Amino acid sequence: MEIIFATHNQNKLKEVQIMMPEHIKLLSLDDIGMHDEIPETSATISGNAAQKVQFIRQRYDMPVFADDTGLEVLALNNEPGVYSARYAGEHKSSIDNMELLLKNLEGKRDRSARFVTVFALDMDRCQTLFEGVCEGAVTEEYHGDQGFGYDPIFMPNGYDKTFAQMSLMEKGEISHRGIALKKLIAYLT
Ligand code: IMP
């Protein structure tokens, strides 16, 4: 089967591509010639995932899925959460987001945090949501140069390295996105 993954984020695309079984052919937004920015104006992670899917579904008559992700930090009342991409401003800079997060956590003893991903799938005019959660902590310094977003400062529980120090496969096995994706794949197969 062919299915569209509605993201412009090449890192997400790689993470999902490597885990997809061969018989599911993933089409990226580039593959279908969609270069517009997809709106994500909902106040919830699942709402944003659903909004992205609807936007594409209205323009393409094919199965489509999209994800939205937030980093919830306990000591900051679960911020940045749904606002993770624009935590330090509309320019959506990962470096600025991480700097602001480290600054806001200065002096806090509890650095526990979790990533939440929701995949929304639209197939046969039916929408289904799949959630994945990864518990961990925000480190005090940057470690690693793999991955994207907040990866250099997020250490999953049970590991002594950040997501940015893991291979794509290693991250995918335990990450919020990997967990949600496994549920999506089980539904599709
Ligand atoms: P969105 O799902 O693309 O809206 O992501 C929201 C924010 O979380 C962006 O700043 C992303 O860079 C960041 N983000 C999303 N997924 C991950 C991840 O797997 N690791 C680290 N940061 C992520």
Query: Residues 89-111: what's their mean pLDDT?
Result: 96
Query: Residues 154-181: what's their mean pLDDT?
Result: 97
Domain carrying residue 177: 2-188
- Per-residue pLDDT at 125: 84
Centre of ligand 1 from the C-alpha of residue 85, in Å: 6
Query: Residues 7-11: what's their mean pLDDT?
Result: 90
- Nearest CA owner, ligand 1 atom 22: 149
Q: What percent of the chain has pLDDT over 90?
A: 94
Report which ligand 1 atom has the smallest distance to the Cα of 48. Answer: 4
Residues with CB under 6 A from ligand 1: 9, 68-69, 84-85, 94, 97, 147-151, 163, 175, 177
Q: Would you say residue 166 has pLDDT above 90?
A: yes
pLDDT tens figures, 124-158? 889 999 999 999 999 999 999 999 999 999 999 99
- Per-residue pLDDT at 34: 92
pLDDT band at 2; cut points 50, 70, 90:
very high
- Per-residue pLDDT at 72: 98
Greater confidence (40 vs 165) lies with 165
Mean pLDDT computed over every residue of the chain: 96
Phi, psi of 184 (to 5 degrees): -65, -45
What is the DSSP track for 55-102?
Answer: HHHTT--S-EEEEEEEEEEGGGTTEEETTGGGTT-TT--HHHHHHHHH
Yes or no: say if 115 and 154 are a contact pair by the CB < 8 Å rule.
yes
Q: Would you say residue 85 has pLDDT above 90?
A: yes
Catalytic residue, from 30, 68, 124, 160: name it: 68
- Per-residue pLDDT at 115: 98
Count of structural domains, the chain: 1
Q: Would you say residue 189 has pLDDT above 90?
A: no
| pTM given for the model | 0.95
68 given a catalytic annotation:
yes
Q: What gap in Å lies between CA 20 and CA 46, rounded to an integer?
A: 22
Q: Can you read off the two tokens belonging to residue 130?
A: 């799949």
- Per-residue pLDDT at 133: 98
| Domain CATH for 71 | 3.90.950.10
Q: What gap in Å lies between CA 32 and CA 169, rounded to an integer?
A: 26
Yes or no: say if 15 and 64 are a contact pair by the CB < 8 Å rule.
no
Q: Which residues have a Cβ under 8 Å from the Cβ of 52 and sit 6 or more positions away? A: 6, 7, 38, 39, 40, 66, 68, 120
- Per-residue pLDDT at 24: 94
Q: Tokens 């911020």 appear where?
A: 79
